[in-house]
Amino acid sequence: MSEQIGLPTNENEKHPEVAQEIIDTKLSRIDFEALRKRLSEDSVFLKVEAILRALATLVIKLEPTLPNYTALLSDETSGRTITLILRKLANQIRAQTKRPPVDTYFLVGGYHRAENHDDSIRNFLVQNNLDKKGKVLLVTESIQSGLSVLNFIRMFKQLGIDFEVATVSLAPGVENGQIVPPANWILEPDLQGEIDKIYYGEAGNDSAGRHLHRIAGSGVAKGYNNLSPHPVPLISDNYKKKVISTREDINVIVEEFSKLLG
């Protein structure tokens, strides 16, 4: 069975599906236990092997289109580590055809934040012409209540931004291949079809990805009193050490996950 390559030709077409047979075959290329032994002692990826498998599954699902997104948008702060992994993998593929690195933006979402903070995100998206650049990928580590991601989806829809969403873990259930929105999602009629744009590594309330929430080592914080669309840096020596070890883990994971490509 061959995989489809390239982005859909218009925003109404679905991301190409990757057959479970292909996912299972590619996962067998990774020795997850050996990978975990190479990670730092405080790595969340070391503590829960299922997270690595879910992340690898997400990479496989995204591979057909990963190098073709015009930008990656990191849902800060926990989404940063996942974004950096996907960015390195995307740029590996892009380099093969001498394409420049993918644009990457780090944005603080959160449905509970002030309305004027949402305005700052909207202004940033417009100023950077993300409504004109082509399909972008919003990256988050885990969708639990899903309200923060839903807030981003509303913004993208209002601004006419062509998008997809990638998450390692999806707490809402999946039935017959379709995501079942959580009961607390109030979906306007024009948002009903947007749920199909979410791609995940694993799904279900018992998903291991819940351990990724507030993942340490991003080196940034949301900064709840800050109206900037971006996170604020953490500058203590302790956080700097965590950032260094996390970046080393990212390099190890990317090196291993390169085996999933192709």
CA 204 → CA 64, 142, 164, 194, 253, distances in Å? Answer: 25, 11, 20, 19, 24
Taking a C-beta distance cutoff of 8 angstroms, is the pair 151, 111 a contact?
yes
Q: Which of 136, 139, 193, 204 is nearest to 170 (CA)?
A: 204
Q: b/e for 251-260, b at 16 or more Cβ within 10 A?
A: ebbbebbeeb
pLDDT number for residue 110: 61
CA 243 → CA 72, 174, 246, 252, 256, distances in Å? Answer: 20, 34, 5, 14, 20
What residues does each domain of the chain span?
20-260
- Alpha-carbon gap, residue 31 to 42, rounded angstroms: 20
Q: Is the pLDDT of residue 240 over 90?
A: no
Band (pLDDT 50/70/90 cuts) for residue 181 is confident
Q: Which tokens hold the place of 23?
A: 């996912």
Taking a C-beta distance cutoff of 8 angstroms, is the pair 202, 50 a contact?
yes
pLDDT number for residue 6: 36
CA angle 257, 259, 261 (to 5 degrees): 90
pLDDT tens by residue, 185-225: 777 777 777 877 888 998 876 666 667 765 555 556 665 66
20-260: CATH number: 3.40.50
Q: Is the pLDDT of residue 80 over 50?
A: yes
Give the residue with greater pLDDT, 21 vs 110: 21
Taking a C-beta distance cutoff of 8 angstroms, is the pair 253, 83 a contact?
no
- Alpha-carbon gap, residue 228 to 180, rounded angstroms: 33
pTM score? 0.86
Q: Is the pLDDT of residue 5 over 50?
A: no
pLDDT tens by residue, 144-164: 777 788 888 989 999 999 999
pLDDT number for residue 147: 78
Pairing state between β 178-179 and 174-175: antiparallel
Give the residue with greater pLDDT, 20 vs 237: 20
Query: How would you class 55 by CB atoms within 10 Å of its CB: exposed for 0-12, middle for 13-18, buried for 19 or more?
Result: buried
Taking a C-beta distance cutoff of 8 angstroms, is the pair 246, 216 a contact?
yes
Q: Which segment, 7-16, 55-64, 206-215, is predicted with the most confidence on average?
A: 55-64
Q: Is the pLDDT of residue 135 over 60?
A: yes
Share of residues in the chain with pLDDT > 90 (%): 40
pLDDT number for residue 13: 44
Q: Which tokens hold the place of 86?
A: 């996907």
Find the mean pLDDT for residues 73-90. 90
pLDDT number for residue 8: 37
pLDDT number for residue 125: 93
Q: Is the pLDDT of residue 61 over 60?
A: yes
Given CA atoms 226, 149, 126, 233 in this order, what sign does their dihedral have?
positive
Share of residues in the chain with pLDDT > 70 (%): 75
Q: Which tokens hold the place of 216?
A: 């340490």
First to last CA, the chain: 13
